[in-house]
Amino acid sequence: MKKEKAVVVFSGGQDSTTCLFWAKQKFQEVEAVTFDYGQRHRLEIACAKNIAEELGVKQHILDMQLLNQLAPNALTREDMTVKAGADGELPNTFVPGRNLLFLSFAGVLASQIGARHIVTGVCETDFSGYPDCRDIFVKSLNVTLNLSMDQQFVIHTPLMWRNKAETWALADELGAFDFVREKTLTCYNGIIADGCGECPACKLRKRGLEQYLAIRNGQPE
Ligand code: ZN
């Protein structure tokens, strides 16, 4: 049997860390790709680096500053506050083309290192309206990547239909609940683990965690 190799798009957050554990269980060989696009919190890259090291996963850090140059946004600029989108508008954390570019570069890397599988933690369920987190977009890009490189890539999205509570449940099934809770960074204010508790990312993470813990402890929600 051919050795199956996967590339995980990895930011050091809850979702992509859960995906990294998922991939490690599913594939013989796993490498991670982390994109440096001038995140406000340099800690995000450091956090991703520590996790990859601890899990013994080879990590590729790719410079994507170009994205920040093209589309400055609240995730990269100190002088912009993170705002949720009002009335069907996209929040100002949206970066046009981000997942298109990230997944395309992940495809180039996969082709270079002989990996057929690409894993990403994008999710349609809790999504903030980001069009490039939708299932239809990922499927469309999968076809495009295969055509562009004459490859047979399979893009996996293990979190696509899970809400945050179900993502915590998956981490738990993978034996990674405490690891994900204590070592990942989701907070827009750059605070590891449970975060600042105030930003939209923390609120989403916390609500999911509380829902999952209620289920885990056998209590009604
Ligand atoms: Zn926060």
Q: How far does residue 184's CA lie from ligand 1's centre (Å)?
A: 12
Which amino acid would we find at residue 11? Answer: S
Q: How far does residue 4's CA lie from ligand 1's centre (Å)?
A: 37
pLDDT digits (tens, 9 = 90+) for 166-214: 999 999 999 999 999 999 999 988 899 999 999 988 999 999 999 999 9
Query: What's the mean pLDDT in 39-62?
Result: 92
First to last CA, the chain: 46
Q: How far does residue 75's CA lie from ligand 1's centre (Å)?
A: 12
Binding site residues for Zn(2+), as ranges?
187, 196, 199, 202
Q: DSSP class of residue 133?
A: G
What's the CATH architecture for 3-215? 3-Layer(aba) Sandwich (3.40)
pLDDT at 150 over 70: yes
Where on the phi/psi map is residue 144: left (φ > 0), alpha (ψ -120 to 50), or beta? Answer: alpha
Report the C-alpha gap between 163 and 15 in whole angstroms.
11
Report the C-alpha gap between 126 and 174 in whole angstroms.
21
User: Per mean pLDDT, which range of 82-86, 149-153, 180-184, 205-209 is the poorest?
Assistant: 82-86
Report the C-alpha gap between 111 and 109 in whole angstroms.
5
Write down the pLDDT at residue 1: 40
Q: How far does residue 109's CA lie from ligand 1's centre (Å)?
A: 31
Q: How far does residue 138's CA lie from ligand 1's centre (Å)?
A: 28
* b/e sequence 184-215, b meaning 16+ C-beta within 10 Å: bbbbbebbbeebeeebebbebbbebbebbeee
pLDDT at 83 over 70: no
Query: What's the mean pLDDT in 86-101?
Result: 74
pLDDT tier for residue 101 given thresholds of 50, 70 and 90? very high
Q: Could you give the dihedral angle defined by the CA atoms of residues 177, 179, 183 and 189, in that order, rounded to the nearest 10 degrees?
A: 0
pLDDT tier for residue 3 given thresholds of 50, 70 and 90? confident
- Mean pLDDT of the chain, nearest integer: 89
Write down the pLDDT at residue 95: 78
Q: How far does residue 120's CA lie from ligand 1's centre (Å)?
A: 22
Report whether 75 contacts 188 (CB < 8 A): yes
pLDDT at 127 over 70: no
Q: How far does residue 40's CA lie from ligand 1's centre (Å)?
A: 13
